[in-house]
Amino acid sequence: MALDAGLDTARGSSQPRLGWAPWRRALWYHAYFWRRTWRASIVSSFLYPLLYLASMGLGVGKLVNAHAGGVQGVSYVDFVAPAFLAMTAMQIASNESMWPILASFKWTRSYWTAVATPIRPRDLVAAKLAWVAIHVAMVGVIYTAILAAFQTLLSPWAVLLPLAGVLTGLAFAAPLAAYVATQENERSFPIFYRFAIIPMFLFSGSFYPISQLPKWLEVVVQFVPLYHGVALCRTLSLGQGSLAATLYHVAFLVSLTVVGTVLCLRNFRRRLEV
Amino acid sequence: MATVPESPSRPALVSARGLIKRFGGFTAVDDIDFEILSGESFGFLGPNGAGKTSTMKMVSCVSPPTEGELTVLGKDPRTHGPEIRARLGLVPQEDSLELELSLMDNLVMYGRYFDLPRAEIRRRAQNLLEFTQLSERANDKADNLSGGMKRRLTIARSLISEPDLLILDEPTTGLDPQARHLVWDRLYRLKSEGVTLIITTHYMDEAEQLCDRLVVMDRGKIVAHGAPRELIGQYSTREVLELRFGLGGHGPHVGSVSDLADRVEELPDRLLLYVDDGDEALAAVHARGLTPESALVRRSTLEDVFLRLTGRTLVD
């Protein structure tokens, strides 16, 4: 066994190594905790899309299909199914970026622990965002498989759905993490849920096309990140929508991710290097 | 400003010149110089708010200096932070353990930050849990540990990378006496194994027990430096006679005993008479017909040094 090897050889190979992607070591931290709850996490990743599909397909869908003959030329369940992926990505990204980040600064102080080692603030940002991406990707693959099993995916582009989910997740996680890094307490978090997450959930064209909204609201929705996530997922799933519109959705989400990441790097550094 | 004399035989692991740390308009560390040599145990003694923790954060390359020169392990923390931190062990003032994880997992996770191979971390972790007398709790949640055990686990964690320099910020604050002695015992062992220690404390007994050399800090400045016994010899008398006079207050008695001592300090609850022979002084006090409620003769400590230098007590 390597453990029984002489102390000197063991030491020789075990000096702290540098330059070997420190953020990956910080990423390991997230994986470590996830390992303890992954079963529950996987079960809910299967369960939620099944519940959504059952409720929307069997309940609301039946009504819509009977009275309006589907939505945008497809059955209601096909229309609404890809939106669940975008909404779930938003949910995962928000949950990962709010309390856990504040806790790492204030309660468990694990960010302070990390920066006393070779880890730098930017490694923590990279690890956090990479973890959100991995988490959403895992859930996205399961979602996509379930949607395929229920034959709600109408286009081969649907294989890119997990990626669209990741992009949606990052567009939420990066700006949110940057904001949370400036906070001393969680008082504003429920407000964010009430006045951002829930309205986005209801008004981002997940359950009906935004053309159903009054004109002014339709314009407002154009600036809502979740709308672009939903639209992108739906485009890939149904094979509808122009290339220009699709690129615009991608550009919107990428811009939010980039701006959020830059602010994150700044705010993490400001907070941890005082 | 005070410069700690350097012993030529050993290399300096840390050296600071004109080191300053400001937070906005507040100067936490105000132009200090010091040098910490390989293999020694070096203390920063001072009351809360003296600037000890700010100094430690700069030395541990977590917080950049505002001004001045700082070299740690031969490198500049401003440009080589991660490389220096790879060779440091830090025991922060506030415990920051992962309370939901087991003791073993706490050590493994921390070791991963240094990119050590997992098998090697486990081997070291087992040794360190033994060293800190926590082996039996290896698979317990860290949350279930007492305060003293958490401190020992934090010390074990800081040693996982086999650091060249171990920095301990108030290692025994908040611990009961028995737990403190256990921590001291472990630190003493590290010291005798040649590990370089930097310790901040506001307990004079901790500084006296553990430190080869120390600086006394007050309001961001170094007010004295030297070995504990040297400082006591330099700034205090051999013995101290403590007199308690009950509720009447101590002020009225200062005049009647002041000629018996080199110096008299009046504290809220007692008078301190700095003398060479405490018993002789006490006999003289009694001979004058004074009847203190209680009297105690003791040796001078660093607490007396601090009182002499600043006019205040360390722990208030």
Q: From the candidates A115, A122, A268, which should be mutated to test the interface with B, based on the most B CB atoms within 10 A?
A: A115
Looking at B227, B255, B286, the residue that finishes a domain is B227
Is residue B28 domain-shared with residue B157, that is, in the same domain?
A: yes
* Of residues B203 and B72, more confidently modeled: B72
What per-residue confidence (pLDDT) applies to B5? Answer: 54
The count of structural domains within chain B is 2
The 3-state secondary structure of A125-151 reads HHHHHHHHHHHHHHHHHHHHHHHHHCC
Give the distance from residue B93's alpha carbon to the nearest chain A alpha carbon, in angstroms: 11
The predicted complex's ipTM stands at: 0.84
What per-residue confidence (pLDDT) applies to A10? Answer: 35
On average, the pLDDT of chain B sits at 90
- Neighbour-count burial for A219-240, b at 16+ CB within 10 Å, e otherwise: eebeebbbbbbbbbbbbbbbeb
- Contacts of residue B127, defined as CB under 8 A and 6 or more positions apart, other chains included, come to none
Give the distance from residue A271's alpha carbon to the nearest chain B alpha carbon, in angstroms: 10
Q: Under a CB-based contact definition with an 8 Å cutoff, are residues B151 and B179 in contact?
A: yes
Is residue B42 domain-shared with residue B136, that is, in the same domain?
A: yes
Q: Could you say which of B60, B98, B112 has the minimum Cβ distance to residue A110?
A: B98
Establish if B307 belongs to a structural domain: no
Q: What is the CATH number of the domain that holds B278?
A: 3.30.70
| Contact assignment for B92 to A32 by CB distance below 8 Å | no
Q: Could you say which of A18, A36, A109 has the minimum Cβ distance to residue B82?
A: A18
Is residue B35 domain-shared with residue B177, that is, in the same domain?
A: yes
Is residue B96 domain-shared with residue B153, that is, in the same domain?
A: yes
Is residue B219 domain-shared with residue B286, that is, in the same domain?
A: no
- Neighbour-count burial for B52-69, b at 16+ CB within 10 Å, e otherwise: bbbbbbbbbbbbebeebe
Establish if B7 belongs to a structural domain: no
Report CA A204 to chain centroid distance, whole Å.
16
pLDDT (tens digit per residue) in B129-153: 999 999 999 999 999 999 999 999 9
> Taking 50 as the threshold, does the pLDDT of residue A2 lie above it?
no
> Taking 80 as the threshold, does the pLDDT of residue A101 lie above it?
yes
How many contacts, defined by CB atoms under 8 Å, are there between A and B? 84
pLDDT (tens digit per residue) in B177-195: 888 888 898 898 888 888 9
> Taking 80 as the threshold, does the pLDDT of residue A145 lie above it?
yes
Establish if B308 belongs to a structural domain: no
What per-residue confidence (pLDDT) applies to A66? Answer: 86
Query: What is the pLDDT confidence band of residue B34, given thresholds at 50, 70 and 90?
Result: very high
Establish if B56 belongs to a structural domain: yes
Is residue B60 domain-shared with residue B173, that is, in the same domain?
A: yes
* Chain B partners within 8 Å of A32 (Cβ): 101, 105, 109
pLDDT (tens digit per residue) in A224-270: 999 999 999 999 999 988 899 999 999 999 999 999 999 999 999 99
* Chain B partners within 8 Å of A122 (Cβ): none
Range of the domain at B159: 12-227
Task: Locate the chain A residue with the closest alpha carbon to B112.
Answer: A25
User: H or E stretch including B12?
Assistant: strand B12-23
Establish if B77 belongs to a structural domain: yes
Q: Under a CB-based contact definition with an 8 Å cutoff, are residues A201 and A125 in contact?
A: no
Give the distance from residue B23's alpha carbon to the nearest chain A alpha carbon, in angstroms: 8
Is residue B290 domain-shared with residue B167, that is, in the same domain?
A: no
What per-residue confidence (pLDDT) applies to B248? Answer: 72
**Residue type for B294, please?**
S
Q: From the candidates A113, A120, A123, A270, which should be mutated to test the interface with B, based on the most B CB atoms within 10 A?
A: A113
Angle (CA) B184-B188-B194 rounded to 5° is: 150
Distance CA A213, CA B280 (A): 96
Looking at B201, B227, B253, the residue that finishes a domain is B227
* Chain A partners within 8 Å of B100 (Cβ): 33, 36
Establish if B5 belongs to a structural domain: no
Establish if B282 belongs to a structural domain: yes
What per-residue confidence (pLDDT) applies to A7? Answer: 31
Q: From the candidates B87, B104, B112, B113, which should be mutated to test the interface with A, based on the most A CB atoms within 10 A?
A: B113
Q: Could you say which of A108, A116, A274 has the minimum Cβ distance to residue B60?
A: A116
Average pLDDT of the segment spanning A138-148: 92
* Chain B partners within 8 Å of A14 (Cβ): 116-117, 120
Q: Under a CB-based contact definition with an 8 Å cutoff, are residues B198 and B14 in contact?
A: yes
Quick one: tokens of B137? 């709790």
Give the distance from residue A139's alpha carbon to the nearest chain B alpha carbon, in angstroms: 25
Name the pTM for this structure.
Answer: 0.85
What per-residue confidence (pLDDT) applies to A135? Answer: 92
Nearest to B302 by CA among B222, B204, B214: B204
Provide the 3-class DSSP secondary structure of residue B171.
coil
- Neighbour-count burial for A68-105, b at 16+ CB within 10 Å, e otherwise: eeebeebbbbbbbbbbbbbbbbbbbbbebbbebbbebb
User: H or E stretch including B186?
Assistant: helix B177-192
Nearest to A165 by CA among A188, A138, A187: A138
pLDDT (tens digit per residue) in B270-294: 899 999 999 999 999 888 888 888 8
Average pLDDT of the segment spanning B248-271: 84
pLDDT (tens digit per residue) in B55-98: 999 999 999 999 999 999 999 999 999 999 999 999 998 889 99
Distance CA A250, CA A242 (A): 13
Average pLDDT of the segment spanning A61-87: 89
* Chain B partners within 8 Å of A272 (Cβ): 62
> Taking 90 as the threshold, does the pLDDT of residue A64 lie above it?
no
Looking at B183, B208, B227, the residue that finishes a domain is B227
| N-to-C CA span, chain A | 45
What per-residue confidence (pLDDT) applies to B9? Answer: 66
Average pLDDT of the segment spanning B289-316: 86
Q: Which residues of A touch B (CB under 8 A)?
A: 2-3, 10-11, 13-14, 16-18, 20, 22, 25-26, 28-29, 32-33, 36, 108-110, 112-120, 272-274
Query: What is the pLDDT confidence band of residue B204, given thresholds at 50, 70 and 90?
Result: confident
* Of residues A14 and B158, more confidently modeled: B158
> Taking 90 as the threshold, does the pLDDT of residue B124 lie above it?
yes
Task: Locate the chain A residue with the closest alpha carbon to B143.
Answer: A108
Is residue B149 domain-shared with residue B170, that is, in the same domain?
A: yes
What DSSP string runs through A72-131? TTB-HHHHHHHHHHHHHHHHHHHHHHSHHHHHHHHTS-HHHHHHTTT--HHHHHHHHHHH
| Contact assignment for A116 to B92 by CB distance below 8 Å | yes
How many other C-beta atoms lie within 10 A of the C-beta of residue A7?
A: 8
| Contact assignment for B115 to A112 by CB distance below 8 Å | no
Q: From the candidates B115, B118, B141, B158, which should be mutated to test the interface with A, based on the most A CB atoms within 10 A?
A: B115
User: How many angstroms separate the Cα of B115 from the Cα of each of A20, A265, B183?
Assistant: 8, 22, 28
Average pLDDT of the segment spanning B108-124: 91
> Taking 70 as the threshold, does the pLDDT of residue B309 lie above it?
yes
What per-residue confidence (pLDDT) applies to A169? Answer: 97
Q: What are the residues facing A117 on neighbouring strands? A: none
Query: What is the pLDDT confidence band of residue B4, given thresholds at 50, 70 and 90?
Result: low
Quick one: tokens of B76? 């500049």
Backbone angles phi, psi at A152, to 5 degrees: -100, 0
Is residue B196 domain-shared with residue B99, that is, in the same domain?
A: yes
Is residue B138 domain-shared with residue B261, that is, in the same domain?
A: no
Is residue B67 domain-shared with residue B178, that is, in the same domain?
A: yes
Provide the 3-class DSSP secondary structure of residue B126.
helix
Q: Which residues of B touch A (CB under 8 A)?
A: 23, 60, 62-64, 81-83, 85-88, 90, 92, 94, 96, 98-101, 105, 109-110, 112-117, 119-120, 122-123, 161-162
Query: What is the pLDDT confidence band of residue B3, given thresholds at 50, 70 and 90?
Result: low
Provide the 3-class DSSP secondary structure of residue A206.
coil
Establish if B6 belongs to a structural domain: no
> Taking 70 as the threshold, does the pLDDT of residue B241 lie above it?
yes
What per-residue confidence (pLDDT) applies to A69? Answer: 84
Is residue B70 domain-shared with residue B193, that is, in the same domain?
A: yes
